[in-house]
């Protein structure tokens, strides 16, 4: 993936349960206890951004930043439930012609099938979001179909 993760750490979820309500004033570094430090000077913009976002309180992350982190499988135990809450709040507005963030929904939908198998309560939340949407854009329909196939394979 290209991320600089210091040796001796991993990107595992450890004992964090997805249903826990994290302290939104804490950063991913504080929540997972892993200090990645600064990326190498030759790191890509994406790697630098992810390192910087890990230091920010998770409650300050916007939809684009959440999508970026989730799309790279960073902070999943904390950010996936947070993102589902955001998507559930904004889904009803989509039908009324408001803004809906397909990038965040796509990042959520495209997590590994093992994520959904391990956390069926989150599958129900995703299904609720999908049922709340008036229309699914063609841009994201493949992601929805893949998620639905993976869900059936549980």
Q: What is the pLDDT of residue 22?
A: 80
Residue 27, φ and ψ in degrees, nearest 5: -90, 170
Residue 20, φ and ψ in degrees, nearest 5: -65, 145
**Per-residue pLDDT for 16 more than 70?**
no
Q: What is the pLDDT of residue 150?
A: 82
**Per-residue pLDDT for 12 more than 70?**
no
Buried b (16+ CB within 10 A) or exposed e, 29-38: bbbbebebee
Place of tokens 């951004």: 49
pLDDT, tens only, 68-126? 999 999 999 999 999 999 999 888 777 666 556 689 999 999 999 888 888 888 999 99
């Amino acid at each position: 993936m290209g991320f600089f993760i210091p040796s001796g750490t991993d990107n595992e979820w450890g004992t964090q349960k997805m249903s826990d309500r994290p302290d939104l004033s804490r950063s991913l570094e504080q929540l997972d206890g892993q200090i990645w430090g600064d990326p190498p000077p030759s790191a890509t913009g994406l790697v630098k951004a992810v390192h910087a976002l890990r230091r920010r309180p998770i409650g300050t992350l916007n939809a684009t930043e959440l999508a970026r982190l989730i799309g790279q499988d960073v902070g999943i135990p904390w950010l996936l439930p947070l993102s589902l809450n955001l998507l559930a709040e904004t889904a009803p507005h989509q039908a009324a012609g408001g803004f809906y963030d397909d990038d965040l929904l796509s990042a959520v939908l495209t997590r590994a099938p093992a994520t959904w198998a391990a956390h069926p309560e989150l599958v129900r939340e995703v299904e609720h979001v999908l049922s709340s949407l008036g229309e699914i854009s063609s841009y994201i329909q493949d992601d929805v179909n893949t998620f639905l196939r993976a869900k059936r394979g549980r």
